[in-house]
Amino acid sequence: MTVKTAVKTAVVTGASKGIGLAVTRFLEEDGFRVVGAARTVTPELKEASSLAVSVDLATPQGPAELIRQAHGAFGSVDVLVNNVGAFSPRTSGFAAIDDAEWQHTFELNFFGVVRTVRAALPHLVASQGSIVNVSSARARGPQPPTVDYGAAKAALTNLSKALSMELGPKGIRVNTVSPGPTRTPAWTDADGFGAGLAAAAGKSLEEFLEGFPGMAGLTTGRLTEPEEVAEVVRMLASGRTRAVNGADFVIDGGQLKTV
Ligand SMILES: NC(=O)c1ccc[n+]([C@@H]2O[C@H](COP(=O)([O-])OP(=O)(O)OC[C@H]3O[C@@H](n4cnc5c(N)ncnc54)[C@H](OP(=O)(O)O)[C@@H]3O)[C@@H](O)[C@H]2O)c1
């Protein structure tokens, strides 16, 4: 007799483009019902997900509202992928970053995850679920143009480890993936992070992106593709890696040089 497993629900934040969209597509392919969240519901997100939710996750109430809608629609939360995050080029140095900018960086990259995990926790306990947090190689390898973002992601990586220790015995796994430079709109948009670095270097975006892998020490010689990060998230979200808890997978094209 074949026993059909119940369809599981995955919540993916920052799902409208880039890494989050790739994760959404892969998890749907793997049979999850994906609830994808972003401020803007793009046609791509609508098509890729089972439910697209428009929500600002940098607000105190946004994360709880997202989890309320996800659980209300499908009755469980089995996987939570905290992918939302953003980085601005701080090319004028540390002293030029004001309190409001520091606060926004932490609200989105760190407190948004704290609040989303808190809201989802009762459902994850019920489902014996799994959390994947998308941090950054900058959590381990700080760089001045991302000083505030790197600090927020270092806090996120630290939080993930502590959560894995508390929640592991309750049957919930918490793991981190830490991408390096990845070809998403953050790098390719005309007003994105890459464009800001290019302008500071006095180069066109195309010229800057061509020279960037060599300059940044990417031993692959290229930016990582969003799908290459999403593959690892998909593996961690699956039930095939139940012994993996509290791990941090760096996916950075060989940029980090320390062990
Ligand atoms: N790309 C890289 O090189 C790289 C490297 C290391 C780590 N990462 C991390 O990987 C994750 C994804 O990055 P990405 O490059 O794929 O980003 P991206 O292409 O800029 O996409 C960001 C996603 O987050 C959503 N978002 C942004 N602010 C939001 C808010 N306040 N509330 C709800 N949703 C919001 C965006 O949609 P809306 O704008 O419509 O809200 C979009 O869906 C982030 O955590 C990032 O820090 C990326």
Structure tokens that stand for 96 in this block = 């030029």
Report yes or no: 84 and 11 within 8 Å, Cβ to Cβ: no
Nearest ligand 1 atom to the CA of 45 is 43
Partners of 9 in the β-ladder: 33
The alpha carbon of 112 is separated from its chain's Cα centroid by a whole number of angstroms, namely 11
Per DSSP, the three-state class of 82 is: strand
Q: How many angstroms separate the first and last alpha carbons of the chain?
A: 48
CATH number for the domain including 96? 3.40.50.720
Residue 100 lies inside a defined structural domain of this protein: yes
Are the CB atoms for 200 and 173 separated by under 8 Å?
A: no
How many structural domains is the chain composed of?
A: 2
For residue 55, the Cα-to-chain-centroid distance in whole angstroms is 16
| Total length of the chain | 259
Q: How far is the CA of 3 from the centre of ligand 1 (A)?
A: 38
Task: Find the angle CA(81)-CA(156)-CA(68) to the nearest 5 degrees.
Answer: 40
Residue 255 is assigned to a structural domain of this protein: no
The verdict on residue 3 lying in a domain is: no
Ligand 1 pocket list (CB less than 6 A): 14-20, 38-40, 55-58, 83-87, 108, 134, 136, 179-182, 184-187
Host domain of residue 159: 9-182+225-250
Rounded Cα gap, residues 230 and 8, in angstroms: 18
From first to last of its 259 residues, what are the pLDDT tens digits of the chain? 444 457 999 999 999 999 999 999 999 999 999 999 999 999 999 999 999 999 999 999 999 999 999 999 999 999 999 999 999 999 999 999 999 999 999 999 999 999 999 999 999 999 999 999 999 999 999 999 999 999 999 999 999 999 999 999 999 999 999 999 999 999 999 999 999 999 999 999 999 999 999 999 999 999 999 999 999 999 999 989 999 999 999 999 999 999 9
CA of 24 to the centre of ligand 1 (A): 13
CA of 78 to the centre of ligand 1 (A): 22
| Residues carrying an active site annotation | 149
Could you tell me which residues are beta bridge partners of residue 177?
A: 134, 249
Dig out the tokens for 61 from the structure: 């109430």
